[in-house]
Chains A and B, each alone.
Chain A
Amino acid sequence: MPDDDELLQGDLELVRVLVDRAWVTQREDGSERPSSVAFLDSNNETSCFILAETDMALVAARFPGKKIAVITAAAAREAGFIIARDEEGGDGIPGHVLLAQRTARPESKHHAHLARQLANTARIL
């Protein structure tokens, strides 16, 4: 289990690359939001980047044409995730972190509920 970086808090923004079109869905008003599956990972290690520390040009070059979900550290923590730094996991893109669910049992419906809760807070770039 990765170590929580408790300094990553509040309005600090995290981005998740939505590589699959099915990871994007629509709200009632027609606006787009990420699907809950965008924040699920069978290994309980969902990759994100810290917006203020990463290089979005590198992200865009690595993932051309892909949409980006933006969440806050506070929303992730309210949904039971810890946030762990993982610089190596970014493969050259700085600011890589992992979200790991600590409140719910991994692969449970509660885990899926909390991913949905987090997805509902997100906006899309």
Chain B
Amino acid sequence: MMPITAGPAFQSVECVNNVQPATSELVPSSLSDSAPWLYSALSQLHDLERGGRNVPGVGDLRVSDAASTATRTLLSLIDEQALPSPVLYTISGRGIGMRWNVGRREVEFTTFASGSSVMAKLESAQLVDDTELAGNPAAELKSYLQWLMGAR
């Protein structure tokens, strides 16, 4: 199955008189309405995948396939619809970071180039808990995100 993708090409679809490019078939039409945070996350991930480069003096800011796949897998395991949009960013050495902020709380995912991930809870910038994700992390993900949303 092809991965869900989103990006500038997709964003332009809605205003082109019902012409449906092939890429639209990859994106559930209701995604931007039902889970806007997921649409935002996938759009940012798409941009990271396309835009990275090796920067001497800073590091390799391209995204590895393993990090990209691991991030998509994490996103697919989240069944909460009412989340704020996360911020996605590159981590030098071809990794990907993803962070949600709600008030003083944040949940941060660090995915390294190999695809291994660390998830952390922070409150007022202080570490509350963290874990290395392995196997099926759905329950841990849910627990961390419920803690995040409890700040509201």
Chain A interfacial positions (CB closer than 8 Å to B): 17, 19-23, 25-28, 37, 40-47, 49, 59, 62-63, 89-91, 93, 96, 106-109, 112-113, 116
Cross-chain contact B125 with A108 (CB below 8 angstroms): no
Contacts of B56 in A (CB 8 A): 47, 89-91
Cross-chain contact B131 with A109 (CB below 8 angstroms): yes
B residues 71-115 near A (Cβ < 8 Å) are 87-95, 97, 99, 110, 112-114
Tell whether B57 is near chain A: CB-to-CB under 8 Å.
yes
Give 26 pairs: A residue, B residue, CB < 8 Å, sorted on A: A17-B57, A17-B58, A37-B91, A40-B92, A40-B93, A40-B95, A40-B110, A41-B93, A42-B93, A43-B59, A43-B60, A43-B93, A47-B58, A47-B59, A62-B57, A63-B57, A89-B56, A91-B57, A106-B112, A107-B114, A107-B116, A107-B118, A108-B118, A108-B132, A112-B118, A113-B130
Contacts of A93 in B (CB 8 A): 57
Residues A42 and B127 in contact in the complex (CB < 8 Å), given A47-B92, A90-B57? no
Residues A37 and B97 in contact in the complex (CB < 8 Å), given A49-B57, A107-B112? yes
Could you say which of A26, A47, A109 has the most chain B C-beta atoms within 10 Å of its C-beta?
A109
Main secondary structure of the interface of B (DSSP, over half): strand
Q: How many B residues face the partner with a CB closer than 8 A?
A: 33
- Measured CB to CB, the closest approach of chain B to A53, in angstroms, equals 14
Cross-chain contact A96 with B57 (CB below 8 angstroms): yes
Tell whether B141 is near chain A: CB-to-CB under 8 Å.
no
Partner of B120, one of A19, A59, A112: A112
Tell whether B61 is near chain A: CB-to-CB under 8 Å.
yes
Contacts of B118 in A (CB 8 A): 107-109, 112
Task: Name B89's closest neighbour in chain A (CB-CB).
Answer: A22
Contacts of B61 in A (CB 8 A): 19-20
Cross-chain contact A46 with B59 (CB below 8 angstroms): yes
User: Chain B 121-140, CB within 8 Å of chain A: the 1/0 string?
Assistant: 00011010011100000000
- Measured CB to CB, the closest approach of chain A to B77, in angstroms, equals 19
Cross-chain contact A116 with B92 (CB below 8 angstroms): no
Could you say which of A21, A37, A89 has the most chain B C-beta atoms within 10 Å of its C-beta?
A37
- Measured CB to CB, the closest approach of chain A to B88, in angstroms, equals 8
* CA distance in complex: A96, B57 (Å): 7
